[in-house]
Structure 1
Amino acid sequence: MISQTDPEGRLRHLLTLEHLPREMLLRLLDRAQAIVDGDIGSRALAGRAVCTLFFEPSTRTRMSFQRAAQRLGADVLNFDASTSSTTKGESGRDTLKTIEAMGVDAFVVRHHENGAVAALAAAAGLGTVLVNAGDGRQAHPTQGLLDMLTLRQARGADFAQLKILIVGDVKHSRVARSDLHALRALGVGSSGSSEIRVCGPAALLPDDDTLAGCTVGHDFDAALAGVDAVMMLRLQRERMDEGLVPSLRAYHDAYGLTAARLRRAAPEAAVLHPGPMNRGVEIDDEVADGPQSLILRQVANGVAVRMAVLETLLAGR
Structure 2
Amino acid sequence: MKMTATKLMQRSLLGLKDLSRDEIEAILDRAAYWESRPNKIEPVLQGKFVANMFFENSTRTRFSFEMAEKRLGAEVLNFTAAASSVQKGESIYDTVRTLESMGIDAGVIRLKPIGVLAELAESVRVPLINAGDGNNEHPTQALLDLYTMRKHFGRLDGLHVAIVGDVLHSRVARSNLWALHKFGAKVSFCAPPNMQAPELDAPYVSFDEALRADVVMMLRVQLERHESGMLKSAEEYREHYGLTAERAGRLAPHAIIMHPAPVNRNVEIDDELVEHPQSKIFTQMEHGVPIRMAVIERAIL
Question: TM-score, with normalisation over the residues of structure 2?
Answer: 0.94
Q: In 2 relative to 1, CA 285–93 (structure 1 residues): closer, same or farther, beyond 3 Å?
A: same
Q: Corresponding residue for 1:169?
A: 166
Q: In 2 relative to 1, CA 135–271 (structure 1 residues): closer, same or farther, beyond 3 Å?
A: same
Q: In 2 relative to 1, CA 29–103 (structure 1 residues): closer, same or farther, beyond 3 Å?
A: same
Query: Which AA in structure 1 matches 2:10?
Result: L
Tell me if structure 1 keeps the 8 A contact 2:194–2:230: yes
Residue 191 of structure 2 is aligned with which of 192, 200, 203?
200
Q: Does 1:248 align with 2:261?
A: no
Distance in 1 (alpha carbons) for counterparts of 2:248 and 2:17 = 30
Distance in 2 (alpha carbons) for counterparts of 1:120 and 1:8 = 16
- Per-residue deviation, 1:244: 1.7
Q: Does 1:48 align with 2:31?
A: no
Distance in 2 (alpha carbons) for counterparts of 1:215 and 1:144 = 19
Tell me if structure 1 keeps the 8 A contact 2:32–2:290: yes
Q: In 2 relative to 1, CA 12–6 (structure 1 residues): closer, same or farther, beyond 3 Å?
A: farther
Identity, % of aligned pairs?
46
Q: Corresponding residue for 1:290?
A: 276
Distance in 1 (alpha carbons) for counterparts of 2:86 and 2:7 = 36
Query: Which AA in structure 2 matches 1:197?
Result: S
Distance in 1 (alpha carbons) for counterparts of 2:117 and 2:45 = 22
Q: Corresponding residue for 1:29?
A: 28
Q: Corresponding residue for 1:192?
A: none
Q: Corresponding residue for 2:138?
A: 140
User: How many aligned positions are there?
Assistant: 297
- Per-residue deviation, 1:163: 1.2
* Alignment gaps of 5+ in structure 2: none
Residues 110-129 of structure 1: pairs in structure 2 closer than 5 A: 110-125=110-125, 128-129=126-127
- Per-residue deviation, 1:39: 6.9
- Per-residue deviation, 1:222: 3.1
Tell me if structure 1 keeps the 8 A contact 2:15–2:139: yes
Question: Any idea what the Cα deviations from partners look like across 1:34-65, whole Å, max 9, x if unmatched?
Answer: 11122779421111100000011112210011
- Per-residue deviation, 1:242: 2.1
Distance in 2 (alpha carbons) for counterparts of 1:182 and 1:14 = 13
Q: Does 1:302 align with 2:300?
A: no
Distance in 1 (alpha carbons) for counterparts of 2:209 and 2:133 = 32
Tell me if structure 2 keeps the 8 A contact 1:14–1:132: yes
- Per-residue deviation, 1:30: 0.5
- Per-residue deviation, 1:260: 1.9
Question: Any idea what the Cα deviations from partners look like across 1:58-106, whole Å, max 9, x if unmatched?
Answer: 1221001111111111100000211111121111111111111111111
Residue 210 of structure 2 is aligned with which of 217, 223, 233?
223
- Per-residue deviation, 1:11: 2.2
Q: Does 1:277 align with 2:263?
A: yes
Query: Which AA in structure 2 matches 1:27?
Result: A
- Per-residue deviation, 1:221: 2.2
* Alignment gaps of 5+ in structure 1: 189-194
- Per-residue deviation, 1:116: 2.0
Tell me if structure 1 keeps the 8 A contact 2:42–2:71: no
Residue 156 of structure 1 is aligned with which of 137, 154, 164?
154
Q: Which moved more, 1:35-44 or 1:243-252?
A: 35-44
Question: TM-score, with normalisation over the residues of structure 1?
Answer: 0.90
Distance in 2 (alpha carbons) for counterparts of 1:10 and 1:96 = 16
**Structure 1 counterpart SS, 2:204:** strand
Q: Corresponding residue for 1:76?
A: 76
After superposition, the CA RMSD in angstroms is: 1.7
Q: Corresponding residue for 2:298?
A: 312
Distance in 1 (alpha carbons) for counterparts of 2:81 and 2:229 = 30
Tell me if structure 2 keeps the 8 A contact 1:6–1:12: no
**Off by >3 Å, runs of 4+ in structure 1:** 5-10, 39-42
